[in-house]
Homo-oligomer: A and B are copies of this chain.
């Protein structure tokens, strides 16, 4: 390998993502590449669809992986569903729900926000009230808010949105693979996530799912989707058509790695994986409390895989992160948006979510903070 690559450290990734990756996934990633229309590759794509449906608890036919990062999933869901001027309600309580507003507005949606404080969850009864006041085509929110460490009550909001006749759009970038998430039972119409956090693969892919009614809305569009690259109708011809229609040259090696990462989750069992994340979260929180540290989010709303830790008074937060990274080869995240400088973000996701990693981090923090 070239010199520059050799200088890059092997880091224990305990930030908001990416997370550390199982060696088996790297092995899959480096497998010889293959053609995007090769029958064996099309078989792998079938396997990917099946695995994703299991992980997402959905029967949706339109369950695939986009050839872009999690952010491309947000773009895809919005660009396929939104037609000019359609009203959308976005529940905002963090950086990524603000981004939902930005992305949807750029695509011509008329967006209303219903706001909640950063660090607090979305209140389903407030959403219900808003839906009685005005008719919306879409309601959109984030399941696990990466910026605040809050787990929002998708399960409660979904049936309210469905009853109001709107489409329910969910960002599951930092929740899928680490938290209970039942797409069909929770009345979700469109959901996207990423390969690199709870699902334990490197960054680069975005799994998405669309309900049958969401796909019907797309089929009935007056104008074509402005984004050819992320056009779900064209993508479905590639993922399910007879014969398969060429659309783009899929990143085969990323698909290999993602398939392997999902296989590892299914082997362990989705519920067991979620339970492991919760257990490691509790172990981490107990350890942090022993060091005199406390969390931003109250117990009932905590996103177990992304822990937002309040910076103690008198501590230079960036210096601590720098020492963790340089001396201990551990990454933790800084605060984002209005929480910059106020919190650390400690991720325990995917292959990172093991007690031994928490021990490593706590030992390093103890030394650095002198506690």
A residues contacting B by CB (< 8 A) are 1-2, 4-5, 7-11, 13, 15, 17-18, 20-21, 24, 26-36, 38, 40-41, 43-44, 47, 67-72, 74-75, 79, 99, 102-103, 106-108, 194, 196, 202-204, 224-230, 246-254, 256, 259-260, 263, 325, 331, 336
Bound: A3/B251 CA distance, A: 20
Bound: A72/B30 CA distance, A: 23
Task: For A322, give the chain B residue with the smallest CB separation.
Answer: B39
Task: For A105, give the chain B residue with the smallest CB separation.
Answer: B224
| Cβ–Cβ contact A1 & B17, under 8 A | no
| Cβ–Cβ contact B4 & A70, under 8 A | no
Task: For A326, give the chain B residue with the smallest CB separation.
Answer: B39
Counting from the closest, the 10 A-B pairs by CB-CB distance are: A204-B251, A30-B30, A71-B248, A75-B229, A2-B263, A10-B32, A26-B30, A202-B253, A68-B68, A203-B251
- The residues of B that contact A194 with a CB separation of less than 8 Å are 249
Task: For A108, give the chain B residue with the smallest CB separation.
Answer: B226
* Closest beta carbon of chain B to A79's beta carbon, Å: 7
- The residues of B that contact A10 with a CB separation of less than 8 Å are 32
| Cβ–Cβ contact B106 & A69, under 8 A | no
- The residues of B that contact A33 with a CB separation of less than 8 Å are 13, 18, 20-21, 196, 202-203
Contact of A34 (CB < 8 Å), options: B9, B38, B227: B9
Task: For A18, give the chain B residue with the smallest CB separation.
Answer: B33
Bound: A263/B72 CA distance, A: 28
| Cβ–Cβ contact B31 & A8, under 8 A | yes
Task: For A256, give the chain B residue with the smallest CB separation.
Answer: B5
Q: Given A227-B227, A229-B75, A250-B203, do A30 and B32 touch, yes or no (CB 8 Å)?
A: no
Task: For A39, give the chain B residue with the smallest CB separation.
Answer: B325
> Known contacts A67-B72, A103-B228; can you find 14 more A-B pairs with CB under 8 A?
A2-B28, A4-B44, A4-B47, A10-B32, A15-B35, A26-B30, A67-B204, A68-B229, A69-B248, A75-B229, A99-B228, A203-B252, A204-B254, A246-B336
- The residues of B that contact A196 with a CB separation of less than 8 Å are 33, 249
Q: Given A11-B38, A20-B33, A203-B36, do A227 and B79 touch, yes or no (CB 8 Å)?
A: yes
